[in-house]
Amino acid sequence: MGAISLNIPILRNIRTDVSSLMFYALILLAISIPLSEFGMSISQFILLGLWIHEGADFCAHKKPGQNGLLKKLNSYFKAIRVNVTGKFRMILNNPALLIVISFYLMHVAGLLYTSDLNYALKDLRIKLPLLSLPIIISTSVALSSRKLNILLIFFTLAVFAGTVASIWVLLSRHISDPRELSIFISHIRFGLTICFSIFILLYFLYKNLFPNRFQIAIISLGIIWFFFFLIILESVTGLAITGLLLYIFALINSYRIRSWYLRLIVMIPVALSPVIVTHYLMKQFRDFGKVETVDYSKLDKYTSFGSPYVHDTCTYGIEQGRYVGIYLAPAELRHEWNQRSKLSYDGNDKKGQVLSFTLIRFLSSKGLRKDANGVRSLTDREISLIENGVANYAYLESFNLRTRVDQMVMGYTNYVKHGDPNASSLMQRVEYWKTSAYIIKKHWLTGVGTGDLNEAFRNAYQEMGSKLSDVFRNRSHNQFLAIFVAFGIFGLIWFLFSLFYPAYKTGRYSSYYYIVFFTIIFMSMLTEDTLETQAGATFFAFFNALLLFGCKREPEKQE
């Protein structure tokens, strides 16, 4: 099909041949990943329609004098059939592609021994991009470096638009949990797209792809903005992955410095940076356990209403350098709270946490006594925050990563002392991993099948007597454990093979973009079920296929 240039001046460079339209559809998909699940679906349908037509030779099957509608349709469908047949031959002759799509086919095979067929089919639908996108991208015209960079620019701009929308949410409404800032996809997947965008922009700077000073300034500001937003989002996963990649590239580039003296000056602080970070985290753990000395003989024994105080230094632990359970009057708390809230003092907050614990911690964080006067001093907004599960006033501070570290330390302390993982997402993950190991021990050979993960985890939590609240009883939060649970030891081995072999076979293991993307995905899989949502599966399937099969291998000067 010939290319057609539009005559409209502003659209003069837009071409309408099928290959160009596919490129625009790829851009649409890249834009949709951080912004719209609906857009992800629509763009994939568009890609499929264009893929069927791309490369079809309609003239070859058109006979002279063939003017009837039926004859034209017959010629059209014959051209389509020949084209698609040829593309399937390309699939069969591409071992790396077959390995990539075999991961999805493993999920299909898992239907043979699953009991929850409805969930299995839902899982297959969510993960369909793992099959469709590698096939479509690998059997279509590969992108040049220029087109790849254009696509990545649009992707980065879409991520930037997502961060701007999040800032608007932050400024226009009350946010008690940074995860609420990600309004289009989950905050974890959004954090991964931000990580990738940072290193896309770093590559633009490093390769001097945009030499104009204004462009350099814009790219530099973009990098700073994305890093700053990861802090606002309190994305521990995103910051950890970004830090790891920066550390790796800093080591590599410092090693390339020719002057040994200058190389040593640069490499020493780079090499010591993990030690500094570790020291900081250990200091937070030590400081968290420190508590001001309490002279119990000088503590008030009664509230202003005559109720006796309880000074509990064991049950509620230490937070912000003080015992949370000091100056505790449970009877007054219960009465005053039930006067001000529809949620019972003896029930749970909206996060599924024990409400009395949330209230006591919140009052302590404000330096208030846990009595009637303490509850009366709370504003209506603060009552609402407590109902929504906010247990510490400091958690409301914006741009404060320290509170995220404090939450982790608090959760760890509570888990060690009481075996309760509910107060920390990190400790919840530990419980998920323990539960995964429990299931794996019983089904290590074949797993439980594609659709039975939810039932397997539900039964395991009950059998283990887990203290996790029902609202937090999720699955593995580790992609490798999730595969192990579903498909057994051989499924896990094959999954790892499908991750590493294609890059080796295609020689993409030395590509900057692929190294960055693979590191981001692999690290995320250690703490998340990255492929269990539409956004995660599409993000992985799209860029994995694009960087393995969808861009031309062009000579590039190695630096």
Tens of each residue's pLDDT in the chain, 559 residues: 444 444 444 445 556 688 889 999 999 999 999 999 999 999 999 999 999 988 877 666 555 555 667 777 777 788 888 888 999 999 999 999 999 999 999 999 999 988 889 999 999 999 999 999 999 999 999 999 999 999 999 999 999 999 999 999 888 877 767 778 888 998 889 999 999 999 999 999 988 888 889 999 999 999 999 999 998 887 888 888 998 898 888 888 777 777 777 777 777 877 788 788 787 777 766 766 666 777 777 888 999 898 999 888 777 777 777 788 888 999 999 999 999 999 999 988 887 778 998 899 899 888 899 999 999 999 998 998 898 888 887 766 655 556 666 667 677 766 766 667 776 777 888 899 999 999 999 999 999 999 889 999 999 999 998 888 777 888 899 999 999 999 999 999 999 999 999 999 999 988 999 999 999 999 999 999 999 899 999 999 999 999 999 998 765 444 3
Report how far residue 234's alpha carbon sits from residue 230's, in angstroms, rounded to the nearest whole number: 6
244-262 exposure pattern, b = at least 16 Cβ within 10 A, e = fewer: ebbeebbeeebeeeeeeee
Report how far residue 143's alpha carbon sits from residue 252's, in angstroms, rounded to the nearest whole number: 28
AA identity, residue 496:
L
How crowded is residue 290: how many other Cβ atoms within 10 Å of its Cβ? 9
CB 283 within 8 A of CB 276: no
380-390 exposure pattern, b = at least 16 Cβ within 10 A, e = fewer: eebbebbbebb
Q: Three-state SS across 217-277?
A: HHHHHHHHHHHHHHHHCCCHHHHHHHHHHHHHHHHHHHHCCCCHHHHHHHHHHHHHHHHHH
- CA 238-242-248 angle, to 5 degrees, is 150
Write the CA distances from 426 to 59, 75, 135, 344, 530, integer angstroms.
61, 60, 37, 28, 16
CB 29 within 8 A of CB 44: yes
Q: Give the domain ranges of the chain.
A: 296-416
- pLDDT given for residue 461 in this prediction: 92
The length of the chain is: 559
- pLDDT given for residue 5 in this prediction: 41
- pLDDT given for residue 345 in this prediction: 92
* The token pair that represents 401 in the structure block: 């990563």
Residue 209 buriedness (CB in 10 A; 0-12 / 13-18 / 19+) = middle
Report how far residue 429's alpha carbon sits from residue 559's, in angstroms, rounded to the nearest whole number: 40
CB 33 within 8 A of CB 155: yes
- pLDDT given for residue 8 in this prediction: 43
3-class SS at 311?
A: strand
CB 499 within 8 A of CB 461: no
* The token pair that represents 23 in the structure block: 């490129």
3-class SS at 61?
A: helix
- pLDDT given for residue 400 in this prediction: 55
Report how far residue 490's alpha carbon sits from residue 483's, in angstroms, rounded to the nearest whole number: 10
Residue 46 makes CB contacts below 8 A (sequence gap 6+) with 25, 28
Q: How far is CA 178 from the centre of its chain?
A: 14
> Torsion angle, CA of 370/372/373/375, rounded to 10 degrees?
70
- pLDDT given for residue 543 in this prediction: 97
DSSP 118-177: HHHHHHHHHTTHHHHHHHHHHTSPPBPHHHHHHHHHHHHHHHHHHHHHHHHHHHHS--SS
> Torsion angle, CA of 97/101/103/109, rounded to 10 degrees?
-130
For residue 517, the 8-state DSSP code is H
Report how far residue 392's alpha carbon sits from residue 318's, in angstroms, rounded to the nearest whole number: 12
Report how far residue 473's alpha carbon sits from residue 454's, in angstroms, rounded to the nearest whole number: 10
Rg (CA), the chain: 28
Q: Give CB contacts under 8 A, 24+ apart, made by 1-4.
A: 1/53, 1/56, 1/58
